[in-house]
Amino acid sequence: MLPDLLFPNRCLQCNRIIAAQELVCGICIEQVNFTHQEFTTPNSLTERCSLLFPVKHAFALMQFEEDSLSRKIVHQLKYGKREIVGKVLAGWVCERLDFADDAPDLIITVPLHPKKLRERGYNQLHLFTETLAAHFNIAFDHQLVKRNHYLKAQAKKDKLHRTGTEGLFSVTKTIENRHLLIIDDVFTTGNTMSSVAWEILKAGNNTVSVLVMAVDE
């Protein structure tokens, strides 16, 4: 197609021309710092979550270091108006994630406030989640949790000021005795994830697991 010829897709790292549905070339993907975590085996993310809320399992796809390729990728998804990045990341997760015999009953996402959704034009977690749900044949619900307040993006805040999440979310439906997988893009302090998790836990006799695209150590 003419747009592809005039504006070819390029690797986020080396600028080499690549296929339209790719993010990085076959060489630069080796620079993505994947965590190699196992979903059902305790890991560093499980430990960090456990300090904030009761968590069953946790999985992070990548490390989120300063000036890293993983940071470039997530920023393209969140701020580069490239929703398709979520589908590519979901494909990477599908290649690496094994729920074993403990798959969740339902997948949910950390919601955006309606104002933020209008500003961005899409929720960066939705296509990612829908791709995972289809691959693993697990139901998802984008409406189960709502965000009550509009806050400045966590990624643009100093770490010392990433607080103020009390009452930030609420559950919109009855949910009991379920194992829910909460998805977010980046785990930093864990405050946002913790706020969502506690709303789910308080709603009924539920258990929660966590999956993030990247974890900021």
Can you give the pLDDT of all 217 residues of the chain as single tens digits?
A: 444 455 789 999 999 999 988 999 999 999 999 999 999 999 999 999 999 999 999 999 999 988 899 999 999 998 888 889 999 999 999 999 999 999 999 999 999 888 888 888 889 999 999 999 999 999 999 999 999 987 665 444 444 444 456 789 999 999 999 999 999 999 999 999 999 999 999 999 999 999 999 999 7
Global pTM reads 0.89
Q: CATH classification of 32-215 is 3.40.50, yes or no?
A: yes
Contacts of 211 (CB under 8 A, 6+ apart): 39, 58, 59, 60, 93, 97, 132, 181, 182, 183
- Determine the pLDDT at residue 162: 45
- Determine the pLDDT at residue 6: 56
Domains of the chain: which residue ranges?
Answer: 1-31, 32-215
- Determine the pLDDT at residue 125: 94
- Determine the pLDDT at residue 119: 84
- Determine the pLDDT at residue 153: 56
- Determine the pLDDT at residue 156: 47
